[in-house]
Structure 1
Amino acid sequence: MTALPGIALADWRAQGQHFSFRGHDIRYWTAGQGEPLLLIHGFPTASWDWHYLWAALADKYHVIACDMLGFGDSAKPRGHAYSLLEQADLQQALLAHLGVDKAVHVLAHDYGDSVAQELLARHQQGQFTLASCVFLNGGLFPETHHPVLLQKLLLSPVGPLIGRLFSRKKLAQSFARVFGPHTQPSARELDDFWSLIAANNGPAVMHRLIRYMPERRVQRERWVAAMQATGVPMRVIDGAVDPISGAHMVARYRELISNADTVLLKQIGHYPQTEAPAEVLKHYLQFRQQLGNAACSDARS
């Protein structure tokens, strides 16, 4: 499969714009025209995670992404009570800032999956208009989420210390365990991931960001009920060998969601959008083509 060229981090950063969310500076990116497609990144990285897919998606859609509060090049306030619900508020505020008033398609990963689940629940409550939702590897169900040691330690009483001691070396060790065996990040990629994590003294707030794990448990019934009840088209594209949320999570998804639309990527780990971006793009565009075909069929009937 043809490789996608990607965007160098320095070039990505140069394209970023800013807006203020509740007094905090948020970095965001937008490109392309057409139906709005909101890309929501994971923990502990940032929107640059989407750089391989960005140009190809912008050829077809109005792509929008931000570094969420506490991540990447956005503000990382110390002492802040970070929340998935607030991050969903942030996504809605960004769309409002950009004047987007159409139904929004969402492509999410990891922590971003939880934000997308909250947006789906708000859609069900009439507080947001979602057109479709595609989830990459993430903890959609707390009972199938297998956190790595770093996450467990960050959530423990020694979390603040663990965060302060977090380093590029620790990141490399953590990523080596969750990426696929044949799709490990390069030294350059690790440097870039680390640059985004380290920006604005990011390690100092990691123990606060990690509170998303218990928050997921609190919201589990509401989010799963929304997924089971919704008419919003959904797909899961998942790296199968991810120890955090790989094939075992997809098996649970198939148990809980009727007519589950799932794609398993063999030998791919937790970051399919960087490990196998061409495959993710193929399966995402196929999903959107199916939506378009269904809409045309409905229009004719």
Structure 2
Amino acid sequence: MPLAEIPLSVWRTRGHDFSFRGQTIRYWTAGQGEPLLLLHGFPTASWDWHYLWQPLAQRYRVIACDMLGFGDSSKPLRHTYSLLEQADLQQALLEHLNVTEPVHLLGHDYGATVAQELLARHHEGRAQIASCVFLNAALFPECHRPLLIQKLLLSRLGWLVARTFRRDDLVDCVSKIYGPCTHPSESALDDCWSLMVANRGMRVLHKLSTYPLERITYRERWVGALLAGGVPLRFINGAVDPVCGGHVVERYRQLVPEPDAVLLQGIGHYPHTESPTQVLHHYLVFRAHFQLGRPLKQA
């Protein structure tokens, strides 16, 4: 049975604000139980999780924010954006919400790399992570296959590319990274676009786009966090994503001890919106298995 969507207009009314280093961050929380922190990808926002929000909130205390520079949060122009700072933001949000117990992570793309940094901090004793599940992310920077637009945003003319980026360009990008039968509706594209342009977001798109360089800089740290053990991990991946699809899962299985990875055939870069029912199933199976102390088998 398809999962019910939450319209963006409704989603926005349910958000709250808190201040992080002088900037306004929009966040959402619902449910009770063990805290589950949802980390969105680039260049979208926490609304990406709306199909999974209610089903997860029936079981856990779900928490999500639009990271700095994304969605309805502040998008300061004269700012150097960093995945490290985004990890600081997540920890500040948990502190704001008085979350003191270990946190479960579910991260997509950009957010999955933030999750890797939080895992690294866990192994340093600076965070408490109970489990982590990744969705379509270049967990290993050597596997990242960027689109042309991503390369252009990283170029010296990135600022111009960002300011001339239009909704038609978004549609073109989506057509390349979604599965052949799972493209979003025109209404969903309108909503994604409205989140990108909120708070004059096109002025900072190129600044947000530098995260692949950070992945290279911190590869040893962030890949090391995957290899350290002690925290249950699962990788759920849309197989036909050209940017970080099945080829990343292959690398994951080569490097990560006792790898637990699930490939979703025919699904692209956004499995949680393309096939949320499958993602929910594989996430809940993961949680049930390790909580019962059963070994996870490679899927």
TM-score bin, normalised by smaller chain: over 0.9
**1:9 alignment partner AA:** L
Confirm or deny: 8 A CA contact 1:124 1:230 kept in the other structure: no
1:183-202 to 2 correspondences below 5 Å: 183-202=182-201
Give, as a single letter, the amino acid of the residue that structure 2 aligns with 1:287.
Answer: F
1:294 is paired with a residue whose SS is coil
Structure 1 residue aligned with 2:143: 144
Identity level (%): 61
Cα deviation digits, residues 117-160 of structure 1 (max 9, x gap): 00000001000000000000011011001011111000001100
Partner of 1:28: 27
Listed one character per residue, the Cα deviations across residues 226-249 of structure 1 (whole Å, up to 9, x for unaligned) are 211121000000000000000000
User: In 2, Cα distance between the equivalents of 1:264 and 1:292?
Assistant: 22
The residue aligned with 1:173 is 172
1:74-102 deviations in Å (ceiling 9; x for gaps): 00000200000000000000000000000
Could you tell me the TM-score, scaled by structure 2's length? 0.98
Confirm whether residue 54 of structure 1 aligns to residue 53 of structure 2: yes
- The residue number in structure 1 matching 2:159 is 160
Letter in 2 for 1:143: E
Alpha-carbon distance in structure 1 between the residues aligned to 2:225 and 2:189: 36
User: What is the Cα deviation at residue 165 of structure 1?
Assistant: 0.6
Higher percent of residues as helix: 1
Distance 1:49 1:171 in 2: 15
Q: Does the Cα contact within 8 Å between 1:110 and 1:138 map onto a contact in 2?
A: yes
Residues in 1 aligned to 2:110 and 2:185: alpha-carbon distance in whole angstroms: 23
Counterparts in 2 of 1:260-279, with a 5 A limit? 260-279=259-278
Contact 1:12–1:48, Cα closer than 8 Å, also in 2: yes
Query: Which residue in 1 is equivalent to 2:130?
Result: 131
Gaps of 5+ in 2: 295-299
- Tell me, in whole angstroms, the C-alpha distance in 2 between the residues paired with 1:52 and 1:85: 28
CA distance in 1, matches of 2:251, 2:125: 27
Find the counterpart in structure 2 of residue 245 from structure 1: 244
Q: Calculate the TM-score normalised by the size of structure 1.
A: 0.97
Return the alpha-carbon distance in structure 2 between the equivalents of residues 222 and 23 of structure 1.
29
Report the counterpart of residue 297 of structure 2 in structure 1: none
Tell whether the 8 Å contact from 1:109 to 1:136 is kept in structure 2 after alignment. Answer: yes
**Secondary structure class of the residue paired with 2:218:** helix
Distance 2:69 2:215 in 1: 18
In structure 2, the residue matched to 1:205 is 204
Query: Structure 2: how far apart are the matches of 1:206 and 1:63?
Result: 27
- For 2:234, give the aligned amino acid: R
Deviation digits for residues 174-216 of structure 1 (CA, Å, limit 9, x no counterpart) = 0110000000111011000000001001111011011111011
Q: Within 5 A, what are the aligned runs for 1:104-119?
A: 104-119=103-118
**Does the Cα contact within 8 Å between 1:179 and 1:269 map onto a contact in 2?**
yes
Aligned partners of 1:293, 1:177: CA distance in 2, in Å? 40
Provide the C-alpha distance between the structure 2 equivalents of 1:67 and 1:288, rounded to a whole number of angstroms. 25
Deviation at 1:266, TM superposition (A): 0.2
Contact 1:133 1:235 in 2 (8 A): yes
In structure 2, C-alpha distance between the alignment counterparts of 1:225 and 1:70, rounded to whole Å: 27
1:168, distance to aligned residue in structure 2 (A): 0.8
Q: Kindly state the Cα deviation for residue 223 of structure 1 after the two structures are TM-superposed.
A: 1.0
Corresponding residue of 2:64? 65
* 1:33/1:58 contact within 8 Å kept: yes
Deviations 1:238-269 (A, max 9, x none): 00000000000000000010110000000000
Residue of structure 1 equivalent to 2:227: 228
Shift of 1:167: 1.0
Aligned amino acid, residue 142 of structure 1: P
Equivalenced residues, count: 294
Amino acid corresponding to residue 154 of structure 1 in structure 2: L
Q: Secondary structure at the match of 1:238?
A: strand
| RMSD (CA atoms) | 0.7
- The CA distance in 1 between the partners of 2:35 and 2:68, in whole Å, is 21
Q: Detail structure 1 runs of 4+ shifted over 4 Å in the superposition.
A: none
- How far does residue 21 in structure 1 lie from its aligned partner after superposition? 0.1
The amino acid across from 1:70 in the alignment is G
Cα separation, 2, equivalents of 1:223 and 1:205 = 25
Specify every segment of 5 or more residues in structure 1 that has no aligned partner in the other structure, as ranges.
296-301
